[in-house]
Amino acid sequence: MSGATEAVQARAEILKLARALNRDAGTLHYLEGVAADDLRAFRHQVIEALWSADGAAMGKLAAASKLLPAGVNATISERALGPVITAQLAARLDPARAIDVAAKLSTPFLADVAVALDPRRTSAVIAGMPPHRIGEITAELVRRGEYVTMGQFVGHLSDEAIRAALGAMDNAELLQIGFVLEDKARLDRLLALLPPGRLDGIITAAVEQDLWLEALDLLAHLSAARRRRIIATARSFQEETLDRIVAAVIEHELWEEAQLIAEADPGLQVRLGLARR
Partner 1 sequence: MLDTGGVPSTSTELEALRAHLGDAPPAGLRSLPDVHLADLADAISQARRHQREALAAAGDRALSHVPRLLRGPIRRVVG
Q: Which residues bind partner 1 (CB under 8 A)?
A: 20-23, 27-28, 30-31, 34-35, 37-39, 41-42, 45-46, 48-50, 52-54, 57-58, 60-61, 63-64, 67-68, 72, 75-76, 79-82, 84-85
- Least Å distance, CB 85 to partner 1, is 5
- Least Å distance, CB 123 to partner 1, is 22
- Distance from C-alpha of 186 to C-alpha of 154, rounded to nearest angstrom: 8
Q: Which is nearer to partner 1, 86 or 176 (CB)?
A: 86
- Distance from C-alpha of 249 to C-alpha of 213, rounded to nearest angstrom: 8
Q: Which is nearer to partner 1, 20 or 261 (CB)?
A: 20
Q: Which is nearer to partner 1, 30 or 197 (CB)?
A: 30
- Least Å distance, CB 180 to partner 1, is 19
- Least Å distance, CB 244 to partner 1, is 34
Q: Which is nearer to partner 1, 84 or 103 (CB)?
A: 84
Ramachandran angles phi, psi of 201, nearest 5°: -95, 0
User: Residue 121: how many CA atoms within 13 Å on its side-chain side?
Assistant: 17
